[in-house]
């Protein structure tokens, strides 16, 4: 349960909720009242593009925006990864606009961090600058998964942007050095972080520090919903537990939900359905 100005922890597994597919079958026929604009450029690089989903009945005063950031270990993935969930989000957040963002992916020779952080800044500035043109308000919520959650939370915390009113974190890293240290030596996780950070924590300590959302919690940090699987072998659940603890110490409202017996990314439909219910309720509680 979300409580104002506190951070609650729950072990969540709804055994009785309907699956996403069942919801679609039992719900009334849904006509999508949205205008879709794909591959909108927010920067000069071909990867700096986004898709916009805009309610046909909208205005710049009251239409709020949910920004989606895909995962993929900062080296792969695409905004299309979120497409399957857009109908679910639209139903839980009727009247909202959505921006689904691509960004430059890290390789062994290019686009090391903070390239991805800088892309998020560009995207936010583009959306703010064009909010009147597209007719949505400057009330934003960020939602990311895995590496996308890391970038969503970092953007929401580090820049103290008053337009980001809440953030939803699906199993994202919060402490990059701790994430590196928790991985087996020479594992794909460690190698991936070395590619992203262009080195190890001992070789590049400042970047590991400056890319860790847990280091940027302040009184201005927006309410945060964290969702994580207890058996996550890619991003340990300790990353979310540590983040939630620091948010609680800072008096930031929010919720940590740990789903038992699930790992990273692939969650059964009933759990995903429960997670989206929590997202809808959380956002409606904190964004007005």
Q: Is residue 56 part of a domain?
A: yes
Q: Is residue 251 part of a domain?
A: yes
**Which DSSP helix (H) or strand (E) runs through 26?**
helix 20-26
Q: Is residue 150 part of a domain?
A: yes
Residue 19 CB partners (closer than 8 Å, separation 6+)? 268, 269, 270, 273
For residues 68 and 98, the answer to whether their CB atoms sit within 8 Å is yes
Measured from the Cβ of residue 55, the count of other Cβ atoms closer than 10 Å reads 19
Q: Is residue 215 part of a domain?
A: yes
Q: Is residue 242 part of a domain?
A: yes
Which CATH number is 241's domain given? 3.40.50.1820
Which token pair is 44? Answer: 């000069």
Q: What pLDDT shows up at residue 159?
A: 86
Domain that includes residue 256, residue range: 7-286
Q: What pLDDT shows up at residue 265?
A: 86
C-alpha dist (Å) from residue 23 to 30, 84, 179, 275: 11, 14, 36, 14
- pLDDT averaged per 10 residues, the chain (length 288): 50 39 45 89 98 96 97 96 95 96 97 98 98 97 98 95 96 98 92 95 97 97 98 97 98 97 93 97 96
Q: Is this prediction's pTM over 0.85? A: yes
Q: Cα dihedral angle (4, 277, 217, 118), rounded to 10 degrees? A: -150
Q: Is residue 1 part of a domain?
A: no
Q: What pLDDT shows up at residue 2?
A: 35
Q: Name 65's bridge partners.
A: 97, 140
Q: How many domains in the chain?
A: 1
Q: Is residue 44 part of a domain?
A: yes
Q: Is residue 216 part of a domain?
A: yes
């Amino acid at each position: 349960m979300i409580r104002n100005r506190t951070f609650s922890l729950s072990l969540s597994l709804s055994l009785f909720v309907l699956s996403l597919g069942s919801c679609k079958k039992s719900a009334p026929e849904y006509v999508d009242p949205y205008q879709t604009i794909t591959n909108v450029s927010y920067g000069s690089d071909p990867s700096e593009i986004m898709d916009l989903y805009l309610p046909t009945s909208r205005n710049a005063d009251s239409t709020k925006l949910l920004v989606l950031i895909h995962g993929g270990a900062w080296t792969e993935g695409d905004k299309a990864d979120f497409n399957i969930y857009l109908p679910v989000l639209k139903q839980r957040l009727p009247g909202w606009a959505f921006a689904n963002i691509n960004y430059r992916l890290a390789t062994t020779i290019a686009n090391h961090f903070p390239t991805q952080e800088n892309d998020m800044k560009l995207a936010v500035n583009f959306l703010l600058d064009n909010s009147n043109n597209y007719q949505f308000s400057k009330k934003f919520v960020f939602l990311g998964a895995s590496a996308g959650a890391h970038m969503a939370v970092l953007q929401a915390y580090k820049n103290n942007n008053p337009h980001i009113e809440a953030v939803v974190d699906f199993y994202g890293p919060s402490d990059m050095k701790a994430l590196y240290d928790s991985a087996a030596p020479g594992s794909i996780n460690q190698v991936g972080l070395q590619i992203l950070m262009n080195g190890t924590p001992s070789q590049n300590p400042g970047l590991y520090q400056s890319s860790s959302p847990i280091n940027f919690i302040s009184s201005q940090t927006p309410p945060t919903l964290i969702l994580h699987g207890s058996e996550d072998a890619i991003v340990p659940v300790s990353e979310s537990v540590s983040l939630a603890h620091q948010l609680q110490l800072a008096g930031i409202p929010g919720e940590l939900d740990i789903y038992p017996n699930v790992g990273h990314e692939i969650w059964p439909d009933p759990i995903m359905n429960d997670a989206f219910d929590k997202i809808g309720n959380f956002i409606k509680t904190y964004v007005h």
